[in-house]
Amino acid sequence: MPSWSGRADRISPQRGERRGTIGDVVVRNTYDSSVPACCICFAPAERLTLCEACANAARKVPDMVPEQILMEQPGDRNACLVDAWGRIYRLGTITPVGRNATGCGIAIHQGSVSRKHATLEFEDAGTVYFRDLGSTNGSVVANRSVRDSIELVTGDLLFVGSVGFYFVSPVPALASSKLSVGTVSANAVAETPADFGADFENTDIKEPAELDLSTIEATGGGGGFVCIEGRDVQVSMVQLELLQLLMKRMAADRGRPVAVRGYVHSSEILAAVSWDTAHPSDNHVKQLVRRLRRSLARSGRDNLIESQQGLGYRLSVVPRV
Ligand SMILES: [Zn+2]
């Protein structure tokens, strides 16, 4: 049997039976450092931070894909939600949750979720409350329907509409010492690698190079120019808008870990650029990125836009300011 080290002294007796309701546990798998432990029940975690059983318990919508959940800006509190794919969403003092992107919360693009569904709020004492904002399909925390607000205890399984998450505090440290930043982004973790604890190995990731990159909008609309190291290439209006979005994000994310820095999710691109079609889709985003890549390549610089499943698109360089 594996042996786990950790404190289990915050079991909440009044909330009834829940799987693995254990608080203040530093998840450390002490028998095999290559297999992380489930942050809920400590079985081996096949899904990043969750075991298969805990992951399945959080999964009510069978055809949902991880890209439908997006953390717009990870918070700075030592508590998080964990989704059915084991991805971590670190909370801030107030974290809005809903179908609408607010710029600072968790956006869930799923039909059962209301535009402004709920918030997670830290009180001064460090307790965290889940507050339903009068959502259409309601919220459930630890098998209880929540009409207004309820205090969360680590290990609570909650459903925002039909979309399940675990509340976990403190943020679980992945025990694996083998995990590299590359592995994490390949698994589409919506979190900064710094949160994976001191064991985290930060390997093979170089700071992106700086590049002279600026845009000029043509007067009267119709597009503009991108100036790359002194060479101008002409681009259409939507290409210009996309590039400006990517440049802005890369600049705003200065100081964030390289593995997650500068990404713009395709749902944000869908919302931000002026499409010439009434119903733009992910496919339109892909085609637009392809066209912009081709345009930028005319400057003699290839591969200026990277993509990563689950994270979106970003510049492979940092625009020099
Ligand atoms: Zn588990």
pLDDT per residue as tens, the chain (321 positions): 444 443 333 333 334 333 333 333 333 334 444 567 899 998 888 888 999 999 999 999 998 888 899 988 889 999 999 999 999 999 999 999 999 877 789 999 999 999 999 999 999 888 999 999 999 999 999 999 998 999 999 999 999 999 999 999 999 875 433 333 323 332 334 433 333 333 333 333 466 788 889 888 877 667 888 889 888 888 888 999 999 999 988 888 887 777 778 888 888 888 888 888 888 888 899 999 999 998 898 888 888 998 887 788 999 988 887
Domain ranges of the chain: 4-196, 210-319
State the architecture of 210-319 in CATH terms. Orthogonal Bundle (1.10)
Task: Tell how far the Cα of 148 is from the centroid of ligand 1, in angstroms.
Answer: 28
- Name 304's Cβ contacts closer than 8 Å, sequence gap at least 6: 228, 293, 296, 297, 315, 316, 317
Cα-to-centroid distance, 51 and ligand 1 (Å): 4
Structure-token match 């918030």, residue found:
119
> How many whole angstroms from 221 Cα to the centroid of ligand 1?
55
DSSP 31-74: S-TTSPBPTTT-SB-SBTTB-HHHHHHTB--TT--GGGEEESS-
Tell me, in angstroms, the distance from the centre of ligand 1 to residue 61's CA: 19
Question: Residue 265 has which token pair?
Answer: 């999710």
Cα(238)–Cα(291) distance, integer angstroms: 10
Separation between Cα atoms, residue 161 and residue 114, nearest integer Å = 8
Please tell me the distance between residue 297's alpha carbon and the centre of ligand 1 in angstroms.
Answer: 47
Which residues are bridge partners to 228 per DSSP?
213, 231
What is the per-residue pLDDT for 190? 41
- The pLDDT assigned to 94 comes to 95
* pLDDT score recorded for residue 221: 65
The whole-number pLDDT of residue 166 equals: 97
Question: What contacts 270, CB < 8 A, 6 or more positions away?
Answer: 280, 281, 282, 284, 285
Find the 77 Cα to ligand 1 centroid distance in Å. 23
Confidence at residue 193, expressed as pLDDT on a 0 to 100 scale: 36
- Please name which of 138, 170, 143 lies closest in space to residue 156, comparing C-alpha atoms: 143
Q: What is the pLDDT of residue 1?
A: 40
The pLDDT of residue 84 is 96
For residue 46, how far is its CA from the centre of ligand 1 (angstroms)?
Answer: 9
In this prediction the pTM is 0.50
Residue 37 Cα to ligand 1 middle (Å):
8
How close is the Cα of 166 to the center of ligand 1, in Å? 11
Give the dihedral sign, CA 52/180/186/214. Answer: positive
pLDDT of residue 173: 72
Q: How many angstroms does the Cα of residue 161 sit away from the middle of ligand 1? A: 22
Architecture of the domain whose range is 4-196 = Sandwich (2.60)
Which pLDDT score, from 0 to 100, does residue 35 have?
67
